[in-house]
Amino acid sequence: MTNKVAVITGANSGIGKETAKALAQQGVAVVMGCRDADRAETARQEIAAESDNSNVVVIPLDLASLQSVRDFVAEFGRQYDHLDLLINNAGLFPFKKQITQDGYETQFGVNHLGHFLLTHLLMPRLQKAEQARVINVASMIHHLGKIDFDSFRGETRYSPLGAYGQSKLANVLFTRELAKRCKGTSVTAYSLHPGAVGTNIAGRGLVRRTLYKLLGGYLTPARGAKTSIYLATAPGIESTSGSYYDEYCKVKPGSKRSRDAALAERLWQVSAQLLGLDAA
């Protein structure tokens, strides 16, 4: 894994931090895309020390701001000429409706749309790698999700779990469509369920963390990072591009909606339109 470069969003805590640590220990140059600069720098120092790898850096990234995504990609491009691994790990699960800087419901805006833009803008660097992988951290909650194209700007009544399910379904659909569009190239894509991990996804406050654990978040982040690390490092998985993996590193079919090719293509087209991108 030496001479490889990885970008990991939300790498200052939880699954992202454990994934960054594991890859750094294998000699990967790790770029941490993080919103909180102080926490990110503390985590960076810890990861660099424990891995004995000085090639761990932080580039500011707030997925709730499309301009921040663009700024991140511009800075990455100034420092690196290629990208081997893009791990779209960051995610939010707010209990109350929130709106991003660009006017999108936050779970859709951060968990899906921000990562969609990030992946699109980093594609030229991914295509320069000998073999690049895009890894999207989804959830088994995508089984509960549906895509409501009239809800993306928070127009409809907010359900925290409903919005989360929609965003995680979007992750799986995005993965399948990306794999289809990258077929025959050096870029492959995978989505995964990390397990019921006790992270700060619902917020850092004691009440929010307790509520999230009561909803089933009990595994350690190190255990939850297992599948992300597997997909980043396992040889010979290119033939499974587009697949959804479970917490035991096994390919699973995913929900019926997640296998809807027409829905995946429509979500791609609408996402690209919202971002002013070429949908081709």
CATH match of 5-275 with 3.30.930.10: no
Q: Which of 218, 237, 114, 121 is nearest to 171 (CA)?
A: 114
Distance CA 24, CA 57 (A): 11
pLDDT at 218: 59
Distance CA 130, CA 113 (A): 27
Contacts of residue 64, Cβ cutoff 8 Å, sequence gap at least 6: 35, 100, 101, 106, 109, 110, 114
Q: In the beta sheet, which residues pair with residue 187?
A: 132
Give the pLDDT confidence of 225-250 residue by residue, as tens digits.
999 999 999 999 999 999 999 999 99
- Say how many CA atoms lie within 13 Å of 136 toward its Cβ: 34
- For the record, the structure tokens of 8 come out as 């990991």
pTM here?
A: 0.92
248 catalytic? Reply is no
Distance CA 234, CA 227 (A): 10
Q: In the beta sheet, which residues pair with residue 191?
A: 136, 244
- For the record, the structure tokens of 149 come out as 């194209």
Region of poorest pLDDT, from 18-27, 147-156, 207-216: 207-216
Domain residue ranges of the chain, discontinuous segments joined by +: 5-275
Distance CA 248, CA 128 (A): 31
Region of residue 242 (left: phi > 0; alpha: psi -120 to 50; beta: else): left
Give the pLDDT confidence of 25-41 residue by residue, as tens digits.
999 999 999 999 999 99
- For the record, the structure tokens of 232 come out as 């980043």
Active-site residue, selected from the candidate residues 80, 104, 158, 164: 164
pLDDT at 151: 97
Contacts of residue 153, Cβ cutoff 8 Å, sequence gap at least 6: 99, 103, 104, 105
Give the pLDDT confidence of 112-169 residue by residue, as tens digits.
999 999 999 999 999 999 999 999 999 999 999 999 999 999 999 999 999 999 999 9
Cα Rg, the chain, nearest whole Å: 17
